[in-house]
Chain A
């Protein structure tokens, strides 16, 4: 089974802190994605990556950056956390040309 692992289930940070969310997948998938889930807004794409060192902006990239130095790892960075970034963050991966996304369990981030 594909495993997508997010490093933290719950995270509490202060406004202005730099925050790193880590995601690792074990199936050699080319594509990796970061989404945030908010009530009434569904899943919104922040950034995605087709390959190592490649990244593409999604629908809501403002306030975020990403890093993909190795194929299995995709990091989401909040340069200066703000309260409106309190959310559930979901990492996903897929094989290029494959129909499905495989999701991690999510990180619930609270910015105080």
Chain B
């Protein structure tokens, strides 16, 4: 049973515009969330995270928003760049110190120059 879901397998955005990637989770015990980025033939790399005590975390062009009541988070990339084209995975776990990560199915982002 998929506890973390990314319902959009792919997304195309024009360079310079905003990319919004969405993620939903079902387990209310999850309280720490991460986004990973994966290029072809490479392992995923950590992008940004958020704890459930916050509703927003920002790092440069990347912002993650968390809506706990809706069990929903989103990643905003502004402005989008061609180098952002990759597969993005949402992940969740129980607590900052939790060791088991639960991943979504990924969203493939294409930024069109």
Contact = CB atoms under 8 A, between A and B. Distances in A.
Contacts of A48: 99-100
Interface stretch (A13-21, A60-68, A70-78, A100-108): A100-108
Contacts, number: 60
Contact of B42 (A42, A50, A92, A106): A106
B9 to A, nearest CB: 7
Nearest to B45: A103
Given A41-B105, A42-B106, A43-B89, A100 B46 contact: yes
A92 B106 CA distance: 17
Contact-size category for B: 20 to 34
B105 A40 contact: yes
A42 B6 CA distance: 9
22 contacts: A35-B103, A40-B9, A40-B105, A42-B6, A42-B103, A42-B105, A42-B106, A43-B89, A43-B103, A44-B103, A50-B99, A90-B43, A94-B99, A96-B99, A98-B97, A99-B49, A100-B46, A101-B46, A101-B91, A103-B43, A103-B45, A105-B41
Given A42-B89, A103-B44, A105-B42, 4 more contacts: A33-B101, A58-B100, A103-B43, A106-B43
